[in-house]
Amino acid sequence: MRKIAMMLVFLLFAGLQVVLAQRTITGKVVDSQGQPLIGVTVLVKGTTVGTATDVEGNFSLQVPNDQATLQLSYVGYTAQEIIVGNQATINVTLAESSFMMNEVVVTALGIKRESKSLGYSTSTVNTAQITEARTVNVGNSLIGKIAGMNVTAPPTGPGGSSKIRIRGQSSFGGNNSPLIVVNGVPISNNADVSAQNADLGDGLQSINPEDIESMTVLKGATAAALYGYRAKDGVIIITTKSGRGQQGIGVEVNSGFQADQALDYTDFQYEYGQGESGIRAASVADAQKSGVWSFGTKFDGADVWNVDGQLHPYVPYKDNIKNFYNTGLIFNNSVALSGGNENGGFRLSLSNSNANSIIPETTFKKNIVDLGLNYNLTKKLSVGLNANYSIEKKHNPPAVGGQDFNINNTLYTLANSIDQAWLEFPYKDADGNEQPLSRFTNRTNPYWTINQRFEDHDRNRIFGNVLLKYEFTDWLYIQGRMGQDFYSVAHDYNTPTGTRFLTAPASGFNGTYYQDQETFNERNLDFLIGANHSFGDIDVSASFGGNSMDQIGQVLSTYVTNFYVRDLYSTANGQTKEPGFSYYHKRVNSLYGTLDLSYKGFLFLNATGRNDWFSTLNPESNSYLYPSVSTSFLFTEAFASAMPEWMNYGKLRLAYAEVGGDTSPYTNQLFYGVNTNTFNGFALGYISNSTSPNPNLKPLKVKESEIGLELILLDRRISLDVAGYIKNTIDEILNVDISQASGYTSTKVNLGRLKNQGIEALLTLVPVRNANFTWETAFNYTHNTSEVLELASGQARIDVGSGDFFGTTSHEVGMPLASLRGFDYRRNADGTIQTANGRFLQGNIITFGSAIPTDIAGWLNTLTYKGFRLFAQFDYKGGHKIMSNTNMNMLRHGLHKMSLNGREGGVVFDGYNTDGSANSVAVEAESFYADYRSKAVATPFVYDGSFIKFRTLSLGADLSKYVSKSFIKGLNVNAYVNNVALLVGHVDNLDPETVYATSDNKSGLESSAMPTTRSYGLNLNIKF
């Protein structure tokens, strides 16, 4: 303990000591044509002290003494070593080498490997792109950037989640998001949704983008195989900055500002105003009954009673969306202090994000402290420590989907002759209750929601790990690591007293209040022994390790209904109290090993094996082995003499792996519960499970084969990375719907099979590259198709989620995943729509198509001119459908343009009666369109979900040279616009990216999310 304390003290002073003892050398690095090379790594050999060249190829570095040797390395160039001697300036020309030879990639378990040896696909994220055009959740900045990755930003506000899927949806379950590994240890990335339909965010939001040093995406099963049961969806590996390679003390300040503006895609009818059945309000009471119906009379400008009790001219109000939603303001500030010497480094960063949503009174604040330390205690023993502490406070995360308290739901159905501002004064009546605006009590007055309802979700989280590594010799090391991800959440929300849909209690006041305290703890212990050795032309490296993962989650909650004292939301004040406690514990132990062989540096063979033991499974069969094998062949090296000159680099990859999925604890038993309150003194006991338990479950397995090709041509002007894969999921654990007459709604079985296959490609072109100007243009493309191969015996489909008003997401044998299904019109034998008394009828449930895009593409352009950098991104998703519940509401409430048909004289629907005669009966318009709700016919509300977006435009300037004579080492400014324009879209009245749910069980089911936003941002980065 004393030694550790001494070490820490030493570390604190290390940076300062070193500064005093050293001298500075400067230099410039150029290529064979004399062009400056930007970003060349310059390291003092044998230490972690280093730097990188700037935009003009210059570097400046402190060296301990004249004996020091500088190592210069750069992708695609032959590394060089130079002894410093007494030189003060060192200019270096690097020779171009075979390309990609020395690029190092962080792979599973944090093992760094040379890119050329990998037999599987990985993508490295350009961290500049994610810090320059920022998103509050770092996951959302990955949209359109990585081939094989489908990222969606649900429109749920600044504290919301990011939905990331790699290579399709790997299981029928709702959560198929990749594993997030930070500094070698997995962290939780659970996306939580509150009982009030608010998106409570995910695990990625605890990470400050400024702290990210590198981000690698392991896309296939082979890349991820060492994570065994957690690898089915790929892995995102994040390494945070730790001051490694830093010399002396550095301070970096980053300050960003962003303004979010709600986008309004509505194209409503503005011919008829508020009212029902062709009649407009004749009294205040009428107005307060029909506030969400635009089935009144033609606009005539006459004074008409309205919801606020006033007379207003009967004219359209077209800007309710624009006027209701605020400009969301987001401030990001961070400061990082880093330092180091030849033995180690540290970095400490503090960041603060303060986001005000476009919805008033909705905020998200996060403060993050990130600490990275690494130190060589002796020549052989090194220690590393990373810790990330975040305080995330969400205030009033808005309800999305559903009806009650969903502000968007009310605004998107509000009659077109009401100015939304009238809802505010007054939003409550003299008794303090919600002022009515509609006979639909579920259309809560948005100002009531803003001012009376609250929800707070405060998370304190710390994750990180400590690593000890001991190198016995230069070919053998051992390391041990302990990682921890712990968070606690304080969460509460109310249903305010006086909300219209509530029932009055016999005494006291109505309303509810819920409060919970949640803790989550995941502990990972692991060790790894690695060795490498050469036998002639063959290099062998092998490692062996193990991991023990232990996870405990608990939630202590109280829910109270009705109050004694008005407007006091506390559990003590509740009339009826329901306490709850939930707890789970699971553990997975694992052993794994790797074996890597390379032959003459051009043929590589890698094999891994991992065995997992699960606490959640039947003890008779709780052990599973996950193998992988991959090979990489550098044909440009193997046949170097035969290669044409323009062929810089060529590699062929082949890989196969089997990985798994997880199971939940306690799924094997029937449990009983007793109601927390007695019924007049009688205890009510029941079977708790609604899913019939199955004690014989095993984890699902994903088998994936992958082939890939990497080419670099024409002096790096063209590079291509293309991969094809087939991913089969077997032994799916299915929550199979069973007959409710069995007493249960579902059971779990191990039967499902599904297949994803696709190709992903990244083509990077550099059409212009000279001393001052470079244009790099990159196309990424993903094509993924899925097919459900088998469900439980004889079952043709399972429904996994349903829309708020109609439609389901289902998986059907022989079809792609996530079929959107719903009722069609009832049809006659010849396919015409059947009518009875002028009305359509409910027909069969049919499949409209899959909710999952088959094609995703991104086009990323980077133009650099001297110190300026312009980035523009366009992206596309296509091949999928959206079922729009909101458009159904817009139609039945009389806003949708389709509702203009039949306003005068009724709708004579284009249908045929059973006797073959054409329908001639007119049905009053509002009554006719209301049938879409009651008969749940989905057909008119299914849209092609494809779109093309101008996603990002950013302009950055490196102004360092203007300040280089001051104490400021670097100055960068950056301005950006996110979500610049929707270029092509097919959904009426809405942005096609408006589907809010992060769960795959609700794919494609659109329902009253927040409007999407365009963000304008400005970012300033200063290095001292």
Q: Residue count at the site for another protein (CB under 8 A)?
A: 113
* DSSP reduced 3-state for 907: strand
Nearer to another protein, 601 or 665 (CB): 665
Restricting to residues 80-139, which ones interact with another protein according to CB under 8 A? none
Restricting to residues 461-520, which ones interact with another protein according to CB under 8 A? 468, 470, 478-480, 500-506
Restricting to residues 375-404, which ones interact with another protein according to CB under 8 A? 377-378, 380-381
Does the protein bind another protein through residue 621 (CB under 8 A)? no
List the one residue from 441, 451, 460, 484 that touches another protein (CB under 8 A): 441
Nearer to another protein, 693 or 970 (CB): 693
Nearer to another protein, 7 or 730 (CB): 7
Using the contact rule CB under 8 A, the part of the chain among 129-137, 234-242, 336-344, 577-585 near another protein is: 577-585
Residue 920: exposed, middle, or buried by beta-carbon count in 10 A (0-12, 13-18, 19+)? exposed
Restricting to residues 783-802, which ones interact with another protein according to CB under 8 A? 797, 799
Restricting to residues 967-986, which ones interact with another protein according to CB under 8 A? none
Between CA 771 and CA 865 the distance in angstroms is: 9
Nearest-approach distance from CB 611 to another protein, in angstroms: 8
Nearest-approach distance from CB 921 to another protein, in angstroms: 9
Who contacts 1010 (Cβ-Cβ below 8 Å, separation ≥6)? 155, 156, 157, 262, 358, 359, 398, 400, 408, 996
Contact 625, 90 (CB under 8 A): no
Nearer to another protein, 12 or 674 (CB): 674
Does the protein bind another protein through residue 912 (CB under 8 A)? no
Nearer to another protein, 276 or 342 (CB): 276
Between CA 666 and CA 853 the distance in angstroms is: 35
Contact 916, 829 (CB under 8 A): no
The pair of structure tokens assigned to 658 is 């089997």
* DSSP reduced 3-state for 223: helix
Nearer to another protein, 589 or 964 (CB): 589
Does the protein bind another protein through residue 934 (CB under 8 A)? yes
Using the contact rule CB under 8 A, the part of the chain among 43-51, 679-687, 713-721, 769-777 near another protein is: 679-687
Between CA 92 and CA 77 the distance in angstroms is: 12
CA atoms within 13 A on the CB side of 508: 15
Contact 312, 303 (CB under 8 A): yes
List the one residue from 91, 621, 675, 772 that touches another protein (CB under 8 A): 675
Does the protein bind another protein through residue 698 (CB under 8 A)? no
Between CA 606 and CA 648 the distance in angstroms is: 24
Does the protein bind another protein through residue 666 (CB under 8 A)? yes
Restricting to residues 138-197, which ones interact with another protein according to CB under 8 A? none
Nearest-approach distance from CB 799 to another protein, in angstroms: 7
Restricting to residues 218-277, which ones interact with another protein according to CB under 8 A? 276-277
User: Would you give the binding string for another protein spanning residues 626-665, x where CB under 8 A is met?
Assistant: ---------------------------------------x
Restricting to residues 278-307, which ones interact with another protein according to CB under 8 A? 283, 285-286, 288-289
Nearest-approach distance from CB 610 to another protein, in angstroms: 12
Restricting to residues 521-550, which ones interact with another protein according to CB under 8 A? 525-527, 546-548
Nearest-approach distance from CB 1 to another protein, in angstroms: 11
Contact 269, 316 (CB under 8 A): no
Between CA 678 and CA 674 the distance in angstroms is: 9
Nearer to another protein, 62 or 543 (CB): 543
**Pair type for strands 855-865 and 868-878:** antiparallel
Nearer to another protein, 206 or 663 (CB): 663
Between CA 809 and CA 1004 the distance in angstroms is: 7
Nearest-approach distance from CB 575 to another protein, in angstroms: 5
Nearest-approach distance from CB 322 to another protein, in angstroms: 29
Contact 606, 595 (CB under 8 A): yes
Nearer to another protein, 58 or 668 (CB): 668
The pair of structure tokens assigned to 832 is 């015409």
Who contacts 48 (Cβ-Cβ below 8 Å, separation ≥6)? 244, 245, 246, 340, 342, 343, 344, 345, 374, 376
Using the contact rule CB under 8 A, the part of the chain among 31-39, 314-322, 690-698, 977-985 near another protein is: 690-698
Does the protein bind another protein through residue 561 (CB under 8 A)? yes
Restricting to residues 863-892, which ones interact with another protein according to CB under 8 A? 892
Using the contact rule CB under 8 A, the part of the chain among 190-198, 242-250, 575-583, 988-996 near another protein is: 575-583
Nearest-approach distance from CB 985 to another protein, in angstroms: 29
Nearest-approach distance from CB 491 to another protein, in angstroms: 19
Nearer to another protein, 480 or 627 (CB): 480
Contact 385, 465 (CB under 8 A): yes
Q: Which of 531, 554, 636, 546 is nearest to 590 (CA)?
A: 546
Who contacts 811 (Cβ-Cβ below 8 Å, separation ≥6)? 172, 752, 754, 788, 791, 797, 798, 800, 817, 818, 819
Restricting to residues 744-783, which ones interact with another protein according to CB under 8 A? 744-745, 747
Between CA 677 and CA 664 the distance in angstroms is: 29
Between CA 958 and CA 867 the distance in angstroms is: 5
List the one residue from 428, 523, 587, 698 that touches another protein (CB under 8 A): 587
Does the protein bind another protein through residue 736 (CB under 8 A)? yes
Nearest-approach distance from CB 740 to another protein, in angstroms: 5
Q: How many CB atoms lie within 10 A of CB 918?
A: 11
Nearer to another protein, 839 or 961 (CB): 839
Between CA 231 and CA 241 the distance in angstroms is: 25
Between CA 650 and CA 311 the distance in angstroms is: 76
Nearer to another protein, 316 or 508 (CB): 508
- CA distances to 139, 321, 940 from 874, in Å: 18, 26, 30
List the one residue from 839, 969, 1014, 1023 that touches another protein (CB under 8 A): 839
Nearer to another protein, 529 or 963 (CB): 529
* DSSP reduced 3-state for 995: coil
Nearer to another protein, 576 or 772 (CB): 576
Nearest-approach distance from CB 688 to another protein, in angstroms: 7
List the one residue from 431, 474, 645, 915 that touches another protein (CB under 8 A): 431
- Cα 830 off chain centre by: 46
Using the contact rule CB under 8 A, the part of the chain among 211-219, 533-541, 615-623, 710-718 near another protein is: 615-623
User: Tokens 């959640």 sit at which residue?
Assistant: 616
Nearer to another protein, 234 or 553 (CB): 553
Nearest-approach distance from CB 744 to another protein, in angstroms: 4
DSSP code string of 69-129: EEEEEETTEEEEEEE-TT-SEEEEEPPB-STTSS-EEE-GGG-EEEGGG--S-EEE--HHH
List the one residue from 13, 564, 639, 686 that touches another protein (CB under 8 A): 686
Q: What angle do the packed helices 885-892 and 925-934 form, to 10 degrees?
A: 150
List the one residue from 393, 395, 428, 439 that touches another protein (CB under 8 A): 439
Nearest-approach distance from CB 888 to another protein, in angstroms: 11
- CA distances to 32, 421, 532, 545, 735 from 113, in Å: 28, 60, 13, 17, 40
End-to-end CA distance of the chain: 35
